[in-house]
Homo-oligomer: A and B are copies of this chain.
Amino acid sequence: MPTAQQVQAIMQRYVERVDAGDIDGILQLYAENATVEDPVGQAPLQGIDQIAEFYRQGLGRMKVSATLTGPVRASHSGCGAMPFRVDMQWQGQDCSLHVIDVMTFDEQGLISSMKAYWSEVNVVPR
């Protein structure tokens, strides 16, 4: 199980790869049997194939930038939460989406679950 410092480093790396649009790099951070619930309230995606499709559909189709807006909060139980901002075009306008991702990790330090907290109340014009 990753230490709190390792959780911080991995989650920061995740945001950097989202920012770079590096889909292969993102997928390398996930365990084969991981789950993704983005946004929370949707039926979770199950396994790396569904997760790969999700990132290709999202990040693969538009340029976004992603920036941490505060420190990664990391527990001693192999999980963490972080606030970040995604700058993007939404319905033809420059917008920022404010998200909090909560992640759990397996023994290899791979993401076993990701939950993204946001809804359209968190989309603001830029």
Chain A interfacial positions (CB closer than 8 Å to B): 4-5, 8, 39-41, 69-71, 73-77, 79-83, 98-100, 102, 117-122
Number of copies: 2
* Bound complex: CA A83 to CA B99 (Å): 10
Question: With A40-B79, A79-B40, A83-B83 as given contacts, are A99 and B121 in contact (CB-CB < 8 Å)?
Answer: no
Q: How far is the CA of A119 from the CA of B75 in the complex (A)?
A: 5
Q: Which residues of B contact A99 (CB under 8 A)?
A: 73
Cα separation A77 to B119 with both chains bound (whole Å): 10
Interface centre among A5, A79, A121 (most CB of B within 10 A): A121
A123 to chain B, nearest CB (A): 10
| In-complex Cβ contact of A73 among B8, B73, B118 (8 A) | B118
A102 and B81 in contact, given A41-B75, A41-B76, A70-B70 (Cβ under 8 angstroms): yes
